[in-house]
């Protein structure tokens, strides 16, 4: 199911290790979602192995709007004493709901569970919006909005946060003493590209300095040389790559890894520079694809003219049909991973095997 996970000890099959007959001290499990998170909550509930005598409760599509656009949340069932895992896609390009609307629905739903007696409320936010607003831009009078949303979550009644590959790796500090579980993207990408491990004709490329540490770890895991794109932004949403720092001479394949594609400007600049440098095949892997139309056109152009052969994304954000129709795009479902995280938290078990990856196994 999630073959990049490597538990420290042998507990038998994954299905056996997940199933349990012992009731959780946290209360009966409830998997819930606002409208934009329903696609993932339902698939996680289906993937969850279940506890033999205590089936989970599934509560979806909790939010709606009044005629004046105010958000309302109504719970369909009594949630007294339940251990609630609240899923939400904060960014949902398949709907007309904005990030702000989805965040507000999430906060109100969390408060509803708290006010009606849930024991615990765990937020499952695969894509953590506002994480990029972690500090003011130079010479700009801006707030630290990432900290503000963390404060809102705590005030709403969230006990802990589960997320995937946020832009801000220091996100733990914004949530004070609240447990924050950042699930493993390194292991995912290392497993996905294990067929490239140890090849001298492959180079792993970080599209900017911010991604360099992650790509360096990936390169070490897969025994690949690494390079970094020297990028600057002459204006917002526009990227220019001056050069690729690192030895790409003689390389045939470039593996470009980043946390997200928004407008696609950074990926376009990097891929074009690599193609111009003679790289014959370029593979891009990102955790979050925001499905913006301008990125769609840029990616098509990169595939047709600049040697982009494959684009690997996950379903942390619901993918629109135009992107799903791209013949070179592959969408990977993370439902099994989130089901495992829910199970471990629900039974007060460690999540260390969701973070770790053995480099040796990537080459097999």
Whether 218 contacts 189, CB under 8 Å? yes
Whether 297 contacts 267, CB under 8 Å? no
Q: Is 231 a catalytic residue?
A: yes
CA–CA separation, 153 and 147 (whole Å):
10
Among 82, 231, 252, 358, the active-site one is 231
CA–CA separation, 184 and 353 (whole Å):
9
CA–CA separation, 92 and 38 (whole Å):
11
Nearest alpha-carbon partner for 316 in 122, 39, 123:
39
Q: Tell me whether residue 102 is exposed, middle or buried, using C-beta atoms within 10 angstroms of its C-beta: 0 to 12, 13 to 18, 19 or more.
A: buried
Classify 264 in phi/psi space as left (phi over 0), alpha (psi -120 to 50) or beta.
left
Buried (b) or exposed (e) across 5-38, using 16+ Cβ within 10 A? Answer: beeeeeeeebeebbebeeebebbbbbbbbbbbbb
CA–CA separation, 331 and 316 (whole Å):
10
Whether 192 contacts 186, CB under 8 Å? no
Q: Which residues pair with 257 in a beta bridge?
A: 285
Whether 35 contacts 95, CB under 8 Å? yes
Q: Where are the alpha helices (DSSP H) in 19-95?
A: 38-47
Angle at 210 between CA 209 and CA 215, to 5 degrees: 80
Name the token pair of 153: 């979550």
Catalytic residues: 231
């Amino acid at each position: 199911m999630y073959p990049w996970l490597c538990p420290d000890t042998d507990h038998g099959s994954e299905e056996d290790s997940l199933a349990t007959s012992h009731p959780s001290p946290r209360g009966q499990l409830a998997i819930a979602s606002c409208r934009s998170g329903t696609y993932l909550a339902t698939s996680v509930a289906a993937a969850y192995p279940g506890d033999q005598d205590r089936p989970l409760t599934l509560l979806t599509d909790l939010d709606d709007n009044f005629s004046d656009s105010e958000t309302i949340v109504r719970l369909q069932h009594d949630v007294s004493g339940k251990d609630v895992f609240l899923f939400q896609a904060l960014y949902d390009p398949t709907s007309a709901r904005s990030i702000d609307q989805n965040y507000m629905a999430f906060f109100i739903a969390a408060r509803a569970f708290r006010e009606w007696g849930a024991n615990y409320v765990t937020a499952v936010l695969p894509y953590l919006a506002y994480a990029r607003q972690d500090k003011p831009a130079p010479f700009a009078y801006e707030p630290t909005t990432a900290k503000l949303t963390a404060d809102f979550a705590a005030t709403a009644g969230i006990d802990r946060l589960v997320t995937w590959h946020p832009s801000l790796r220091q996100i733990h500090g914004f949530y004070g003493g609240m447990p924050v579980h950042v699930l493993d993207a390194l292991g995912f990408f290392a497993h996905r590209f294990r067929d490239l491990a140890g090849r001298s004709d492959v180079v792993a490329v970080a599209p900017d300095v911010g991604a360099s540490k992650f790509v360096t770890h990936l390169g070490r895991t897969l025994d690949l040389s690494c390079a970094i794109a020297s990028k600057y932004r002459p204006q917002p949403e526009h990227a220019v790559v001056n050069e690729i720092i690192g030895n790409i001479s003689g390389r045939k394949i470039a593996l470009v890894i980043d946390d997200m594609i928004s407008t696609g400007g950074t990926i376009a600049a990097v891929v074009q520079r690599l193609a111009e440098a003679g790289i014959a095949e370029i593979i891009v892997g990102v955790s979050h694809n925001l499905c913006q139309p301008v990125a769609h056109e840029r990616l098509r152009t990169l595939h047709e003219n600049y040697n982009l052969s494959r684009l690997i994304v996950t379903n942390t954000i619901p993918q629109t049909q135009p992107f799903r129709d791209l013949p070179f795009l592959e969408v990977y479902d993370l439902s099994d991973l989130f089901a495992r995280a829910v199970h471990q938290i629900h039974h007060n078990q460690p999540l260390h095997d969701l973070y770790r990856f053995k480099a040796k196994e990537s080459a097999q």
